[in-house]
Chains A and B, each alone.
Chain A
């Protein structure tokens, strides 16, 4: 019997942080930085501890809140998929928090920022470990409301506009999720995901089943910024503080959109490619559209943060494509891309902010030749680009290779070709940024800039290291983290046995 008490701590620790920060930062200004980063370190420790615990062969930890047995009480389920997602959240959160310490220098209200950030973390971790539909919805709303406020944190005209736009779309998504959960409860009389999956399995694929799933998917699609619901994302990423952009793009869209969708589709509704080929073809279609639209819109952007935002839409498309292919390698690739993209996109957003901080501009034409004056930022940006575009030995290479392998294994050769082709589009728009911003040419006068402070560089180097380590040591990562997570998804209704039978 292993120690299971760390599971609720994933939510409780950031909530405690959110409580302490406003209370005590009246006494000492630096308290917010200290507690925020301390929570980040503790959560990363828990996440790694969890992965190590599960790698010994335990299928998952089921924590019963307050000792109430499922299906009556709320259960927290820390299986291998949840372990992967919690690891991703906290791997990106810690560098983002480190970056925040210096990002907030020109702003007042440091404690407000950290309080919201802690709530965001509590919500994200809660979504990953929740085993109860309504509880998951509550955590989705906690993290979503915190993120709306964080996007508008600057309270300038643009930030407020982006925040309101984001909030309108996000809330439509949230309400359609709640509506779907109400319908599910009306039909199955339970909220526990495991219990619900058994009730749905005995019900069969009725029109009601598909209607509820469609309503849920509208909610998830808005949260993951899938085309055609992507319009909030570029504005929100542009206006949000850089560490929040990194969290939104790297983690938020994946946990609220991809993870929640995968959990519901595979484990609650019990679908898989053989049982519902039409549904998975639809995912492939949406994935392809997202890849194409996001990639093509990214090419012509003048603003380098907006370019990265459209790139996120495109990369989310790759993840959807992997899930849609639906065979073993496709799903493994998609999950690997969740990790790889989180680290690299977080890195690129933070590096963009370093550039903006040094030069005061977000436009591509206005700056140039920064390689000499900001070598660390330049090189971390270049390495991040290589990872995102799928160059070995980075994480992005492994994940795209796996997705393409999955397409080939399912005999969908044209999909493999399109995926590989659009990988070069990714490279194209990112190389454009590098050549304009960093590479010094004779006709370009280097923009005067100074290298960022050490705390920011530390955050960048951490993320480069994550992308590199996950790429080089992909075999242990696959064996211990990604493949068990994919098996948890393919297990389908085995999830119910884990929760109810354990």
Chain B
């Protein structure tokens, strides 16, 4: 139970950075922390203490093995996170070119 709660806590730390930080780069770091938290949560969900890697060997059938599916899912979600982080950083660069700042309180041309 403790690792799961730690993941939730980490997720909330990331959310805090996303919602309350003013610097765009810090917001993006916040997203990375949130993604870490969710991925870690997924990996813990498949973990089993003392179990083996889920590889079929010729020696004998492994009875006690770690669930491999969450690991595959985490890989997929890391790839998605890569795409979103890359896009965010690209946008941050272009925003800096236009506004000459990373401070979101100064990036306010849209109103209404």
Contacts and interface: CB of A to CB of B under 8 A. Distances in A.
Contact of A164 (B38, B67, B92, B112): B92
Contact of B38 (A141, A160, A182): A182
Interface in A153-201: 155-158, 160-165, 167-168, 171-172, 174-175, 178-179, 182-183, 185-186, 189, 191
Given A161-B110, A164-B92, A175-B34, A186 B45 contact: yes
Given A138-B76, A156-B98, A179-B11, A235 B110 contact: yes
Given A155-B94, A182-B41, A167 B15 contact: no
A134 interface: yes
A134 B76 contact: yes
A148 B24 CA distance: 16
Contact of B110 (A134, A158, A168, A174): A158
B91 A185 contact: no
Contact of A301 (B67, B92, B112): B112
Contact of A171 (B24, B67, B84, B108): B84
B42 interface: yes
A306 interface: yes
B45 A145 contact: no
Interface in B55-73: 67, 69-70, 73
Interface residues of B, number: 35
A168 B29 CA distance: 12
Nearest to A187: B45
A31 to B, nearest CB: 25
Given A172-B15, A172-B18, A167 B110 contact: no
A182 B45 contact: yes
B87 A145 contact: yes
Contacts of A301: 112
Contact of A149 (B31, B87, B107): B87
Interface residues of A, number: 39
Interface in A257-297: none
B70 A185 contact: yes
A163 B91 contact: yes
B57 to A, nearest CB: 22
Contacts of B99: 157
Contacts of A164: 24, 88, 91-92, 95, 107
Contacts of A161: 95, 107-110
A162 B24 CA distance: 14
Contacts of A306: 112
Interface string B75-91: 01100100110011001
Contact of A152 (B42, B70, B91): B91
Contact of A185 (B11, B15, B34, B42): B42
A234 interface: yes
Interface string A51-72: 0000000000000000000000
B100 to A, nearest CB: 11
A238 interface: yes
Contact of A179 (B24, B38, B69, B110): B38
A142 to B, nearest CB: 8
Contact of B109 (A138, A148, A157, A183): A157
B91 A167 contact: yes
Interface string A224-244: 000000000011001100000
A303 interface: yes
Contact of A160 (B18, B45, B98): B98
A230 to B, nearest CB: 13
A150 to B, nearest CB: 11
B45 A185 contact: yes
Nearest to B67: A189
Contacts of A165: 110
B109 A158 contact: yes
Nearest to B4: A186
B4 to A, nearest CB: 8
A241 B67 CA distance: 45
A343 B29 CA distance: 39
A163 B24 CA distance: 13
Contacts of A157: 95, 98-99, 109
Most buried by A among B69, B83, B91, B98: B91
A460 to B, nearest CB: 26
B29 to A, nearest CB: 13
A158 B45 CA distance: 42
15 contacts: A134-B76, A141-B84, A152-B91, A157-B99, A157-B109, A160-B98, A161-B109, A168-B18, A174-B84, A175-B11, A179-B37, A185-B42, A235-B110, A238-B110, A239-B110
Interface of B: 11, 15, 18, 24, 27, 31, 34-35, 37-38, 41-42, 45, 67, 69-70, 73, 76-77, 80, 83-84, 87-88, 91-92, 94-95, 98-99, 107-110, 112
Interface pairs A-B: 7 shortest CB-CB: A186-B45, A157-B98, A182-B42, A235-B110, A141-B80, A160-B95, A182-B41
Interface of A: 134, 138, 141, 145, 148-149, 152, 155-158, 160-165, 167-168, 171-172, 174-175, 178-179, 182-183, 185-186, 189, 191, 234-235, 238-239, 301-303, 306
